[in-house]
Structure 1
Amino acid sequence: MVAAVLTAPTALAVFACHPGATRGRRYTEQPAPTRTEYQRDRDRIVHSTAFRRLVYKTQVFLNHEGDLFRTRLTHSLEVAQLGRSIARSLQINEDLVEAISLAHDLGHTPFGHAGQDALNGCMADFGGFEHNLQSLRVVDQLEERYPLYDGLNLTFETREGILKHCSRTHARQLEELEPDGVGARFLRNERPSLEAQLCNLADEIAYNAHDIDDGVRSGLITLSQLQDVPLFDAYRWSALREHPALAELSMHRRLLYEAIRRMLSAQVYNVIDTTKAALRAHAPTHPDDVRMLPVLVRFSDDMRERSSVLKQFLFRHLYRHPRVMETTGHAQEIVRELFGAYITNPQEMKAAFAAQALAGDGLGRARAVADFIAGMTDRFAGREHERLTGRRLLQE
């Protein structure tokens, strides 16, 4: 039997991450005969338990509030789609972009940022909780799929891209465990790969667009309110000029979709044009050159300002809407009370986490509890809270 020939991606630029030049995996493995190293990372992520759980984890609206709102899973897929589209135009590695995009939210708690804030508060005396660091813990330690090691044993480049943010304290801890590893750039004030930079921006583009869609669908924000957002309103008007029938009330859903589509396209093209100009100006000739340069994958100044205005609008009118804040309060109460219950009675957790908690010191117990809670879906967290307290704070 003749092994298939593994061909490298075509037309990669000199500043792109090439899978044949990866810094490798923590545990040495033989290369796959038909897949590049980054394709292999992507496949491991897609088949992981943590990835499947994302379908029942909140983006903005809790999982029980509607079947059509975004979840962490659909968000991750949208980030991957945007990232791959932009990566192809920039001639950087699409497979690496996809792998990072699909894994970037694996460490998110149930109940979105509300759950993360609550768990961070619970862990204040134990080093805090960072969802990016937790995503790294998931792929490095918490997944249990292979006989010889914990985690998914991903490549350095994918792991570094997953760690979008990291405090210096945690970066130093990572550096002690893995010298010159994924935490080093935070201590050296260096940039990650262009592929990682792209995922960061694709994440922002995706959530701004889909939060408009979900916000209008929920009735918490309206098309008339969005007239105050120049980035969106410009494309709403361009859609109306080209398709006047969209002004009819019965066509407002189509108007919303068309305006969002045009806004997304404009942002994508802006990133491509601005990044290409930055690459020409700085002329990196190797992926490592990128580390010492400013962030190159970026919006133009004007688009950055308009995107910022949109984010401020969503913060005021959607994320801080009284209905969202009500469920946010209940969600945070669930996380805090789960944490307290498990710290006091670790045996209430699943066996593996209970054993880890009972074998550890105070920090070890708290980290085991945080790992268990962070891995929960919205639905499981609510049910566990009801089991332990007898109270149902969120309706299913």
Structure 2
Amino acid sequence: MAHGKSTERMRKIGPYGVETLPQVPVDAPAAPPRCRDTLVERARLQWHRTDGGDPAVLAEEFLTAHGLDLRDLSRPAPTHPPGDACGAALYLSAAAGALLAGTPTTAPEPAPTLPDLAVVVYDHGPTRTAPVDTPTPWWLGPWTESWTPEQHAAAIDAVRAAIGRGDIYQTNLVGHAAAPYTGDPLPALRRLGTLPGARYGGVLTGDGWAIGCASPETLIEVRDGQLITRPIKGTRPATATGHAELLASAKERAEHIMIVDLERNDLARVARTGTVTVDELFAVRRWCNLWQAESTIRATAADSLGLADLLRATCPGGSVTGAPKLAALTHIAAAEPVGRGASMGALGWVAPGRVDLGLTIRTAAADGEALHTWAGGGITWDSDPAAEVAEAAAKTAPVRATLTGR
């Protein structure tokens, strides 16, 4: 597919029948803090799965065409020449990641206006001051879940049965909820970035849609030729008792180790042989009112590793799919009633020699009619359905409270 024609076609944004959300200062997750007051959008690529093509290749080609060459991430970041693009925000949906993995999803998307790929290239303009938000009436209606607690529990039992048959070892199940709103959703989405532990806090907006992120989890980081991923798996309330329970839980540790092994395998596909190491294992850290277990896995990038191959190896993230990944994706497609939308994908910043993408957990999205949230957890043979349903609710509670304004 010729780059010029494919890129031009993919950049077209169809009429959504909703007003364009107001523009805000650039606040893309992982964007360089020193640049945020001066970033100006230069070019944009938006792509839906129905457009056809390979989203990883499209992203790499589009970035190269706009002065951001990410075709060799094994080299240290080059010195930034004056006048060149600073970098780009990159978003890839979980559905696009499943497509890259070879297991496309068929569940209906609850927010179909959201793209499956967005790449927004920025350069520098005059220093700008952030506008003061003019208070506008903000109303967020009641949340409607895409499945009931009983349906969620039944899906967990189905996963446990599949584990018992030996089909899979672990699968992550995710639920969705939507709430109608009136007013400007962007201040609410921006508030998510202020939640404690939001390593990838920020927003990305487009014509008729916006994504707000409070994710603590690194999907993939590349810096000076080093690949880093920080999977999170294992959750307890952020109390002294919860901390002790998480450290002592054989179930949580086993679930975590399975994902660490999966992530080691994913990195090994794009790393120099023998360089994959686990720098930190099962470190307990806090996000809002929860303790979560995190590990750090590192490797040296293979020679000439490009962005497209990196995305293909790491998306969708292992901690939100399961093990083995392809089998888990098949069970996810059968179990979840709606698509994962903006959640469980990738969102962050890319520049020559540098990639920093968060996994879009603790993420919400707005279309012209509703706010959407997603939450879930990993299911193993030892999972208790009632406890897993409660854990998903605990993960989404701070997000929903923040969107409401509490």
TM-score normalised to structure 2 length: 0.25
More strand per residue: 1 or 2? 2
Higher relative contact order (CA 8 A, sep 6+): 2
Task: Report which of the two structures shows the higher radius of gyration computed on alpha carbons.
Answer: 1
TM-score normalised to structure 1 length: 0.25
